[in-house]
Every structure is written in structure tokens, then in C-alpha cells.
Amino acid sequence: MTSTEPTTTTTAGEPSVVAKLSTLDRYLAVWILAAMAVGLGLGRLIPGLDDALAKVEIGGISLPIALGLLIMMYPVLAKVRYDRLDAVTGDRKLMVSSLVVNWLVGPAVMFALAWIFLPDLPEYRTGLIIVGLARCIAMVIIWNDLACGDREAAAVLVALNSVFQVLAFGLLGWFYLDLLPGLLGLGDGEHLDISLWKIAVNAVVFLGIPLAAGFLTRRLGERKLGPAGYEQRFLPKLGPWALYGLLFTIVVLFALQGKTITSQPWDVARIALPLLVYFAMMWFGTFALGKAIGLAYDRTATLAFTAAGNNFELAIAVAIATFGVTSGQALSGVVGPLIEVPVLVALVHVSLAWRRGFTTRAGTSTR
């Protein structure tokens, strides 16, 4: 993964941020599309591969996916400067905006889109609402880093999402799936049966372990190599592993669900449309909000990507545990990363292109 740091000024004639990316990062969309195709192909062509991969799990957590996410997130979290986290937690505008967008706006937007686009398909609709409740705590770290967002802010916001995920997921599930449809006269609701323990385990595995590993690596690395040696000699060697972990995760994820996705193309298309609208509304709306309230580019990008991303690992696990592995609710969760991954990669490039014109925290223009 690139070690390019967000800069504060750009002069006329200076290469664009995209041009400064490493070859690996510049062609990320190609590698991701190839990984998706490989995963779908493996899942479709190798009999029993999805069942074999699905059995490699502990307590409902897929070990191959957990391994991939750990490899993906660890290098980025090792880059975080943990001594700067106080500056993030003291940014009240960022913290409040993130909580409002993630836990009030995001679930409400997905609820509305699910009912607008899928009024005749209750299973898929329920699956999408579950996706909207599962706020992102994993892959957003990668998208934020590629977009030159604020790493420290991303670490704080995904940790905040993890806490609220444990506290609020079940309550919001009851509100949007059971209570609100009845209040609006939309019919009988659905009961979401998921334990707080399972949600907490999900947060620990997909965020807690790589966060602890990244923190300890920086502490021990700086002690042994010094801050400059850690930044200049160690991190460039560790960085590319984030991309390798991302590609491995995508291959495994799509190999697990390749047969399901390719055997129901029309259903996939019906589910994909509201997801596309959701990602666009959440990312562009939050990006505009960040700029409107005066956040610097790096924190605006972080706010937008944490708002647009979702924790599909949790959504799929909840749908399978509650409704079954072959359910329509589970299919909605599976289609999520099929749409999110290429869309957020494209939004990384949009974000970098819009980087000019922002003001830095010091008040100077990046133009």
C-alpha cells in the first residue's frame, strides 16, 4: 500500500496525487476486479469449495476472511500515529457528524431505499436494512488510506462505530424491522435474533486484533528503530501487505458466494440498484457536509468513507444466523461487497480529484 502522505499544498505543474501513487495503488481497480472475477470463478467452477470454506470458522467467524482482514488492516493501523489521537477526539464537529451520519442518517436512508426499490421482495428488503445497520469497521481503513484521508481520525471513528455497533445494533434492528413498518402501515415487521455477544466478538476480531497489533508494532518499532527509521525503513516494506490482504479477502469472499451470485443475476441486479443509490447518497452527501462545516480535506474524506462503508461481514453473519444461509436476506448481504468494493474504489479517485480547493487546518488552500 502506498506510503504517500496527505500534503497541504499543491502548486501549478506539480503532479496530481493520483500520479504520485505507487503502481500497485494506481491500478487498484484492475487488481480488485481481477480478484472478484477469480473468486466468482472459483466459487462457480470448483464443486463444494463454498461449503469447504464456510466450514473453516469458529463461533460464526470465518477464519479465511478474518485472516485476510487482519493482513489487510494491520499495515495501515501500524502507520497510525497513536500519540495524535487526542487531536481527533477533540474535534467535536468530526465526532458528532460521524455519529449522526452513521447511526441516524445511514440506517434511515437504507430503510427508505429498501422499501422504495424492493416493496415486493420482503426478504431482500430486510437484508438491505440489516446491511444499513452494520456500520463499517474494516475495509474503510483501506479506502481512507488510499484517498489520503486522516489515518488517526479513521482509527478513532471505526473504534467509535464498533462501540455503537455493540450497543445499538440490536435496538436499531428492532426499530427498523419490527416497530417502524407497523407504525407506517407497511405490514408486519421482522424479528432480528442476534446476541450482543456475537456482535462484540465481530468487533473484536475485525477491528480489535489488528488495532492492537498495529499499536504494539508502532510502539516497539519506534523504540528499536527510532521514529524516523520506523517511518522510512519499516513501513514501506510493510505497506504492500495491506493490498495483498485486501485481494485475498475479496477472493475468499466471492469464492464463498460465487455460485449464489452467478445463479441469480436478476435478483442481484434488483438488490444492486438501491445499494448504488445508497453509496452515492451517503458518500457525496457526507463529503459535502464535511466541506460545509469547515473540515480539512483529510478529515472530510475520512468522514465520507466511514459513512458510506458497511460491515458486510456482520450483516451476512446476522442474516445467516437469523434467516438461514440460503435466504434472500443472506443474498442481500452477499451482494453488498459486490457493489461496494468497485464503487468505493471509484470514489477514492473522485476524492483525490476533489482534493484541490480544500483548506488545511492551518487555513491555507490546497489549490
Instruction: Enumerate the domain spans of the chain.
Output: 17-353
Residue 60 has a pLDDT of 64
Cα 76 to Cα 25: distance, rounded to the nearest angstrom: 14
For range 194-214, the mean pLDDT: 74
For range 290-301, the mean pLDDT: 93
Q: Assess contact for 124 and 99: CB atoms under 8 A.
A: no
Which carries the bigger pLDDT value, residue 33 or residue 50? 33
Q: Which residues have C-beta within 8 Å of that of residue 346, sequence separation ≥ 6?
A: 29
Which DSSP category does 356 fall into? T
Residue 11 has a pLDDT of 41
For range 304-319, the mean pLDDT: 83
Residue 243's nearest CA partner among 15, 9, 8, 35 is: 35
Residue 367 has a pLDDT of 37
Q: Cell numbers at residue 136, please?
A: 463499517
Burial of 9 (0-12, 13-18, 19+ CB in 10 A): exposed
- Mean pLDDT across the chain, nearest whole number? 80
Q: Assess contact for 103 and 134: CB atoms under 8 A.
A: no
Half-sphere CA count of 225, side-chain side, radius 13 A: 15
Residue 20 has a pLDDT of 52
Lowest mean pLDDT of 35-39, 45-49, 324-328, name the range: 324-328
| Bridge partner residues of 103 (DSSP) | none
Top-level CATH class of 17-353? mainly alpha
For helices 122-133 and 312-323, the axis angle rounded to 10 degrees is: 140
Cα 170 to Cα 179: distance, rounded to the nearest angstrom: 13
For range 337-353, the mean pLDDT: 87
Which carries the bigger pLDDT value, residue 253 or residue 346? 346
Task: Tell me which range, 54-68, 129-143, 267-281, is most confidently predicted by mean pLDDT.
Answer: 267-281
Biggest alpha carbon distance in the chain? 64
Whether residue 359 is predicted with pLDDT greater than 70 in this model: the reply is no
Whether residue 301 is predicted with pLDDT greater than 90 in this model: the reply is yes
345: amino acid identity, one letter: V
Q: Can you point out the beta strands (E) in 42-194?
A: 57-58, 61-62
Residue 99 has a pLDDT of 93
